[in-house]
């Protein structure tokens, strides 16, 4: 009997240790690794931009009404950096093409079927709420009027949030339509949609915010007002 009790106790300790190690891996190690990967993605982008390696564009027509027409994004590759002052002035994440699991481990992911950055339509981006760097951990803090700023190395794009965080189901794919039905928008424009999971450690629902393109300016003009402290 004692042998059985001892064996069960040892098994419980082993299982408990494995669970603790797994939690540490999920909470800590994936975050450390993801932060390093995201920093590397940003460094590579900035190095490319510093050497003039920017994707070819068409002609621009006017500040907030239009933007240069970019060439195609390359799947699983970064093409922009996002800043959200509400989440902290040190908060910045790379935006990559695609929303595959491997892509979202490196940063935020652009829904490939949606508009490109600054273009007419709905530029839509997904990010993890928790794990892999917790990029959208504080997503619920976002409010209408908040700025979401992106750069592709040539232009700063400042979007302003109009609605959200809005809670919905994962099956509600209309949230990334060109004119999302529940966004309050009634006609085509230059919009931004951000999506993440809810609750914080689950994925039964999605949190959404919608924004419109408020202004653009060339990088040579310096940082946009929303990023100036």
11-56 pLDDT, tens digit per residue, is 545 544 444 334 445 555 565 677 899 999 999 999 999 988 665 4
More confident residue, 125 or 51: 125
| 51: annotated active-site residue | no
Name the residue ranges covered by the structural domains of the chain: 6-227
140-169 pLDDT, tens digit per residue, is 999 999 999 999 999 999 999 999 999 999
What average pLDDT does the chain have? 86
Percent of residues, the chain, with pLDDT higher than 90 = 73
Q: So what's the pLDDT on residue 52?
A: 80
Backbone angles phi, psi at 84, to 5 degrees: -130, 95
Percent of residues, the chain, with pLDDT higher than 70 = 78
| 12: annotated active-site residue | no
Q: Considering 86, 110, 206, 212, which one is annotated as catalytic? A: 206
| 130: annotated active-site residue | no
Q: So what's the pLDDT on residue 74?
A: 96
Q: So what's the pLDDT on residue 92?
A: 97
Q: So what's the pLDDT on residue 51?
A: 86
Taking 60 as the threshold, does the pLDDT of residue 124 lie above it?
A: yes
pLDDT band for 6, please (50, 70, 90 cuts).
low
Q: So what's the pLDDT on residue 70?
A: 66
Q: What is the DSSP letter of 33?
A: H
24-33 pLDDT, tens digit per residue, is 455 555 656 7
126-142 pLDDT, tens digit per residue, is 999 999 999 999 999 99
Q: Considering 128, 129, 130, 190, which one is annotated as catalytic? A: 128
C-alpha to C-alpha distances, 21 to 12, 25, 170, nearest whole angstrom: 14, 6, 30
167-182 pLDDT, tens digit per residue, is 999 999 999 999 999 9
- Nearest CA to 125 out of 181, 186, 188, 83 is that of 83
- Contact between 116 and 70 (Cβ < 8 Å): yes
Please tell me the CATH code under which domain 6-227 is placed: 2.40.260.10
pTM for the complete prediction? 0.83
pLDDT band for 1, please (50, 70, 90 cuts).
low
Please, which residues have CB within 8 angstroms of residue 87's CB and are 6 or more apart in sequence? 138, 141, 142
173-225 pLDDT, tens digit per residue, is 999 999 999 999 999 999 999 999 999 999 999 999 999 999 999 999 999 99
Q: Considering 110, 129, 130, 197, which one is annotated as catalytic? A: 197
**For the chain, what percentages of helix, strand and coil (3-state, to nearest 5) are there?**
30, 30, 40
């Amino acid at each position: 009997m004692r042998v059985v009790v001892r064996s069960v106790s040892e098994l419980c300790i082993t299982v408990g240790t494995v669970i603790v190690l797994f939690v540490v891996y999920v909470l800590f190690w994936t975050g450390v690794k993801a932060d390093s990967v995201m920093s590397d993605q940003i460094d590579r982008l900035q190095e490319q931009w510093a050497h003039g390696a920017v994707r070819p564009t068409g002609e621009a027509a006017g500040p907030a009404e239009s933007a240069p027409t970019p060439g195609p994004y390359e799947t699983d590759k970064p093409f922009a950096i996002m800043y959200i002052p509400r989440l902290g002035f040190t908060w910045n994440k790379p935006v990559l093409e695609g929303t595959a699991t491997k892509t979202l481990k490196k940063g935020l992911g652009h829904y490939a079927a949606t508009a490109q950055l600054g273009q007419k339509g709905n530029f839509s981006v997904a990010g993890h709420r928790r794990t892999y760097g917790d990029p959208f951990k504080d997503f619920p803090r976002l409010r209408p009027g908040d700025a979401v700023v992106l750069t592709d190395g040539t232009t700063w794009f400042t979007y302003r949030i109009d609605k959200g965080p809005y809670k919905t189901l994962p099956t509600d794919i209309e949230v990334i339509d060109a004119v999302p039905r529940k966004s309050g928008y009634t006609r085509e424009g230059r919009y931004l949609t951000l999506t993440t999971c809810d609750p914080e450690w689950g994925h039964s629902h999605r949190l959404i915010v919608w924004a419109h393109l408020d202004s653009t300016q060339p990088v040579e003009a310096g940082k946009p007002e929303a990023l100036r402290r």
